[in-house]
Amino acid sequence: MSKATNERNSKQTSKTLHQASKSSKPPPPFSLPPGSIQPFLKTLDTDKVYITHIDTLPWAFKRRIFAVPVLLNVAIIVLIVYRLYRVVPTYTLILLSTMGAQNAATINFDSLSWSQFFWLSSQRGLMFIIDYMLYEFIYSWPVDFFGGVPSSPAKWRWRVGFQDKEIIVRVSRKWHAELDKDLITGNNDKAFQEKIMPAIDRQYMHEKTGYLLMDKNWELDFQSMVTATEMVKDGVVELDNFEKTVLVHKKDFGWLIWPVHRLDKGSDDEGRKKIVAFKDKLTAMGKESVFFRWIELIQYESTQPGGFTPERQASAMRQAKEIFESQGINFELFWREIGGMEGMPGMELRS
């Protein structure tokens, strides 16, 4: 077989594999996004992971919370201005002195003892250190808060205001650079358990306004929040598209979504307590991975065409039982110990 033929076969095989990958379904819990949210997805960075949700806390409460960083940054600006007022003349004299001018900042070494010289040097050294620390660590706070590019907390509030329903968009911090998009194939459970799952915990999100959800793993994408709000206002995208959802981009599929809010809907306080007990029990047994496999299973079954029918609920329950037994967990005994299956999505039916 000629070299040209081999190359053609190789290209055809590669093309076939690529097409097969493109035609395959996204692995659970992710699915392809609806067309209605595509205009927003086009504005996002494909290298990062996003979480959207709608903050429904009262607007007055959000205003009180936001007043704290506003006042703090105003106080910092006042401190910086006062510091500049005090030290600029001193630094000006020191600069002129180094250029040969005789002034109050000039050090006459011949008239100073070693102790006097040491004391004067220490004073100036401490002044330099304090001002450097202010510039390096404090000065950037009000700059980023009021004038950050492309957007900032102040710009976001100026353009969006305070509303009872606000779109919040969180974006992954630097950890996404180490994240192979194997995340969506289940090969990166650590990212799921340590980065994503804590960030979408219902109780965690319920207790805080969107502005307070920044932490070591997630920051707020203020520009995306402004863009999303304006798109909803202009009728380009529906508000419901921003319910609690995880957004991940993968080359083979494009943007994928995990509509976490579907797991929240219809679950009352008793059901949520049951889910917490379910997770805590598995964690205590050292089987926390079973919980995340259950999450993926329920999400997959509930997002199939036709909805989460009784047949699919029964299928989910049977598959869950297999998952438990594969990990050496007595399925029936486990549920008896936490008070039964009532209130657990996908577990209401018995085979």
Identify the pLDDT of residue 258.
87
DSSP 31: B
Identify the pLDDT of residue 67.
94
Q: Residue 265, exposed/middle/buried by CB under 10 A (0-12, 13-18, 19+)?
A: exposed
Identify the pLDDT of residue 70.
95
Average pLDDT on 88-116 reads 80
| 321 band by pLDDT with thresholds 50, 70 and 90 | confident
Cross-strand pairs, 151: none
**150: preceding bond cis by omega (within 30 degrees):** yes
For the beta carbon of residue 188, count every other beta carbon within 10 angstroms. Answer: 16
Identify the pLDDT of residue 217.
92
pLDDT in tens, 188-242: 556 767 788 888 887 788 878 999 999 999 999 999 999 999 999 999 999 999 9
For the beta carbon of residue 273, count every other beta carbon within 10 angstroms. Answer: 13
pLDDT in tens, 135-183: 888 888 999 999 888 889 999 999 999 999 999 999 999 887 766 555 5
Query: For residues 232 and 238, is the Cβ–Cβ distance under 8 A?
Result: yes
pLDDT in tens, 19-34: 434 447 777 678 889 8
pTM over 0.75: no
Residues in the chain, total: 351
Question: Containing H/E element for 92?
Answer: helix 59-98
How far the first Cα of the chain sits from its last, in Å, is: 58
Average pLDDT on 50-69 reads 93
pLDDT in tens, 262-304: 776 645 455 667 777 888 888 888 887 888 788 778 777 766 6
What would the DSSP string read from start to end of 143-178?
HHHHH-SS--HHHHHHHH---SSEEEEEEE-GGGGG
DSSP 244: S
- Record the tokens describing residue 134, joined without a space: 């202010």
